[in-house]
Structure 1
Amino acid sequence: MMTAPPLDVRYFADALPDADADLTFLLTEVAWDDRMRARRTASFGVPYNYSGQHYEAMEMPPRISAIAARVGEFAGHPFNNCLANRYETGDNTMGFHQDSYEGLAPASAIAIVSLGAIRPLVFRSIDWSHHTELALEHGSLLLMTQTTQRIWTHGVPRTSAAGCRISLTFRRFDTRPTEASA
């Protein structure tokens, strides 16, 4: 039997001190983008453009900035982008994918804060030989490294009975000027 490749993640249940208020803010105060078929999105901080979606730079609201600071304490570095994903029901999904590290600060983590309904995040090795599942609880934090992105894919499968869930994914983009732009 093949040995499973290392899944380099760290999970923290109850990472947010006021997850209920954070969820209420996101449900009532955020202007959601409906361009994606599988879920609604919103982006804050420096732009993170992916899958043909382009977002303008937008200042993080104070509540999201506070969550980013809290997540940064766990990660050991600050974050300058938050991509929010709103899954209205268990029918809203995210297919298996690997997050790109293009433009991200070297050795930075990608963080996922989960609010609302518990949903599984399924990891599958790129050769499909191994998989594992984590139940992302309300107020939890998951940190993933570049190593994980290279050898695993992850996705949020359909879960028929699940209610509304919002994930906040935080990234640290390297905003230093390059030689070509300096």
Structure 2
Amino acid sequence: MTTTPPPDPAEPTNAPRRTAPSAERSRLGCGALSTGASSQTPPYARTTDNTLARAAAAALTFTEATAIDTVSRYCVAGTIDATTCEAFGAHLDDIVTARRPFLLDLTAVPFVSVRGLTLIEALARNAAQREIRWALAAEYSLHRFLTLLNMDTYVPSFDNADSALTHITNTLAQ
């Protein structure tokens, strides 16, 4: 009696399994799939307007105070990145427009993008053209980046607000 061998097992395929794209529609109602739609993307990130950018800009806070009689102190807190650079630039424009000596305090800013550094360089250039005395207080890492960029305009930067304020008062006295 002859027996037939069992059939060979099916060979496994190495192709990865793919899931079908999400059928979630954009909030515009145009019927197109939203580019960021997935079950792992939070709802606020799926909006087609710039709600996410506005939320990030709200995370960057600006506070104005008087440091001494003639010097304003502008404190910025939060991350200066692609989502907040527009708001940061608008505030820098307002600072230069005031034409007063000022201290820009970025000690509560843990990260500044390259675009943010470019905005700081533009601030330095505008302040120099208008002969506005100012200083920057920031963490050492920001000073290092400003040095490495080899900017055309000098940025008077210091490790803390007290040193920056002393620099401004000394330059005003001259």
TM range (shorter): under 0.3
In terms of fraction of residues, the more strand-rich structure is: 1
TM-score under structure 2 length normalisation: 0.26
Q: Which has the higher contact order (CA 8 A, sep 6+)?
A: 1
